[in-house]
Chains A and B, each alone.
Chain A
Amino acid sequence: ELKVEQNPLFLSMQEGKNYTIYCNYSTTSDRLYWYRQDPGKSLESLFVLLSNGAVKQEGRLMASLDTKARLSTLHITAAVHDLSATYFCAVDPSTGTASKLTFGTGTRLQVTL
């Protein structure tokens, strides 16, 4: 059974600081996704990483994927309050036509002034 683990589960950081969220998964996969969820809301797509060494950046967020280590990171640069949310990574292990995501437990990020 595929397991996806994120750490930390909760992160409180000051504005202007940098930090990294880690996502480890237990089986081979070339597709990894990052989503953001605000309380009581749906999931907002952030990044899709499709190959080893892939790096994507949007604003203060940068995601990378190391398929050999089965590790993805979400790096936050100079955090601002608006980034406060829960961040999920999700892995799609399918190689055929089936497709389902296995989500991590989520990292709840709180950015304080």
Chain B
Amino acid sequence: NAGVMQNPRHLVRRRGQEARLRCSPMKGHSHVYWYRQLPEEGLKFMVYLQKENIIDESGMPKERFSAEFPKEGPSILRIQQVVRGDSAAYFCASSPQSGSFQHFGDGTRLSIL
């Protein structure tokens, strides 16, 4: 009974490179959420997706960040031309429907050199 799977667990990038974070939701879940956690802070909502659709991206920075959840395969959070301020833990959560309990993955810890 696999939970929400995120990979990689740790990702190191140099400034200017691209980072791709992957999230496979729990079986039967079609709703995916991405959150960012800076050190010593709570999680901040970034984007909410259903299969092939972005429902709410109000928490996404306007530039360099994008997310997708294709019909087949995992959800991807993509950060282009990373900067030091992008260093954070990025968590993915999934739920079977809107408003139901969100189950979190183990996160991807992104470090920018």
Contacts and interface: CB of A to CB of B under 8 A. Distances in A.
Contact of B99 (A88, A94, A105, A106): A94
Q: B interface, by DSSP: helix, strand, loop or mixed? A: strand
Contacts of B43: 43, 88, 90, 101, 103
Contacts, number: 58
Interface residues of A, number: 23
Interface stretch (B21-29, B75-83, B103-111): B103-111
A43 B56 contact: no
Contact of A105 (B35, B41, B91, B106): B41
A45 B98 contact: no
Given A42-B91, A48-B101, A92-B99, A100 B107 contact: no
Contacts of B33: 99-101
Contacts of B105: 42
A77 interface: no
A105 B56 contact: no
B113 interface: no
B45 A101 contact: yes
Given A100-B45, A105-B41, 7 more contacts: A35-B104, A42-B106, A43-B91, A100-B48, A100-B58, A100-B59, A104-B42
Interface of B: 31, 33, 35, 41-45, 48, 55-56, 58-59, 91, 95, 98-99, 101-107
Interface of A: 4, 31, 33, 35, 41-43, 45, 48, 88, 90, 92, 94, 97-106
23 contacts: A42-B105, A42-B107, A43-B91, A48-B101, A88-B43, A90-B43, A92-B99, A94-B98, A97-B98, A98-B48, A98-B98, A99-B31, A99-B48, A99-B95, A100-B45, A100-B48, A100-B56, A100-B58, A100-B59, A101-B102, A102-B45, A103-B44, A106-B41
